[in-house]
Structure 1
Amino acid sequence: MKFVKFGILLSLVFSLTACSISTDDLPIKEITDTVTESVSNSGILEGANEVFTYVQNTQESFQELMNIGGQWSEVYNAASNGTITNEELASRVTNEILPLNEELMTQIENYVAPTDATSKINDLLVNAVSTQHDALQEVVNGIQNGDYSVLNSANQLMSDVQGFEGEFTKMIQNIITEYGF
């Protein structure tokens, strides 16, 4: 039953990955709380509580990473179709998107991975959030220097970050299987 509940939770989290929807309004919190309580009470494997908490935290962080990428896509598309200027794009990236990414980067860098497998997940997250940061910073620097050609390369980097989703999902699924969540 725990596996089914966690499977439902995982499905909901990843179905929202491409959207920048607030998960506060969704039933996911209730499901997460129920699964957390089940795992906490059973202690499936030694260290399972720490691993489960880590998995939950990293899933939330990965979702936030994708949400930030969604915000980038919105402003990039707005600049591409002329709805906003490149200068407005740089301003929104500087004032709205980069601070969110930097906050997420700090959060991820402070995670303590309880196992070798979760350490690999952490490395992937750090790589993804750092790549996203580099892309966003490239946009700001390029526009400030009048080099608008950086928009395409930055957008490619942001697409590369989205490509981490498959690897992240596989790693999480392996942990879920190993620990019987």
Structure 2
Amino acid sequence: MKKWQVLACLAALSVTVAGCGDDKSASTQQQESKQTTTQNQPKQEEAGKDAFVKYLDSIRPILQENVELGAKFQEARTQSSNRQLSNADFAKLLSDTLIPEGNKMQEELAAIHPEAEFHDVHEKLNKMVGSSVQAFTELVAAVDTGDTSKVTSANQLMAEARELDQQLLGDLQSLAKKYGVELNKQ
């Protein structure tokens, strides 16, 4: 009986000692991992900065196209309000020029595959352009059908696009600050 007790105690001790050995090597592994992480951190930050600069370079032309699209829309809307442009001509300008330009921007955005860190920003940009194109489409439908509820819908979509634009700008500014990148580079 004493042999079994001694064997049980030895087994328990060997499990305990083996467990202590594992903790010690795990602690050593954690320290080595922390050192490696600290050493790799500047490399990771530089890779993140490079990825952000690459992403910015890919969307800059689209952002510029969006500004130009907005300016064309504002000019057409002002001309329509001042009766310098008939409703039919306004709708034609939207359907023949602005909607195709917006669709082209969406295709350009679809061709960009950003790093995972920038997916949310890219999605906002996609959604912003999509909301603008959908608003233009609603305005054309309002003119074609005389349905004023389509104007209300277009205004809501334009408000959504402006809100997304503000969020996008904030997100880009945060990323630019994080990586020390000048956002307004021309």
**TM-score (norm: length of structure 1):** 0.68
**Structure 2: distance between partners of 1:163 and 1:49:** 28
Which has more radius of gyration?
A: 2
**Structure 2: distance between partners of 1:160 and 1:152:** 12
The 8 Å contact of residues 113 and 122 in structure 1, kept in 2 or not, is answered as yes
**Structure 1: distance between partners of 2:180 and 2:126:** 26
The gaps in structure 2 that reach 5 residues or longer are 1-42, 182-186
**Structure 1: distance between partners of 2:136 and 2:68:** 14
Local SS of the residue matching 1:140: helix
The equivalent of 2:178 in structure 1 is 178
Q: 1:74-101: per-residue Cα shift (whole Å, max 9, x none)?
A: 1112112211110000100011111110
**TM-score (norm: length of structure 2):** 0.66
Mean CA deviation greater in 125-134 or 45-54: 45-54
> Counterpart amino acid of 2:170?
K
Matches within 5 A, 1:20-169: 45-116=46-117, 118-148=118-148, 150-169=150-169
The gaps in structure 1 that reach 5 residues or longer are 1-41
**Structure 2: distance between partners of 1:77 and 1:153:** 19
The 8 Å contact of residues 69 and 158 in structure 1, kept in 2 or not, is answered as no
Higher helix fraction: Structure 1 or Structure 2? 2
Count of residue pairs the alignment pairs up = 139
RMSD of aligned residue pairs (Cα, Å): 2.3
**Structure 2: distance between partners of 1:163 and 1:63:** 18
Displacement of 1:43 in angstroms is 9.5
**Structure 1: distance between partners of 2:133 and 2:53:** 27
Local SS of the residue matching 2:146: coil
The sequence identity of aligned pairs, in percent, is 20
**Structure 2: distance between partners of 1:127 and 1:72:** 18
Q: 1:30-80: per-residue Cα shift (whole Å, max 9, x none)?
A: xxxxxxxxxxxx996124333212123224322322321221111112112
The equivalent of 2:23 in structure 1 is none
The equivalent of 1:21 in structure 2 is none
1:148–1:83: structure 2 CA closer, same or farther, 3 Å change rule? farther
**Structure 1: distance between partners of 2:124 and 2:179:** 20
**Structure 2: distance between partners of 1:62 and 1:159:** 18
Displacement of 1:113 in angstroms is 1.1
**Structure 2: distance between partners of 1:72 and 1:159:** 14
If asked which structure has higher relative contact order (CA below 8 Å, sep 6+), I would say 1
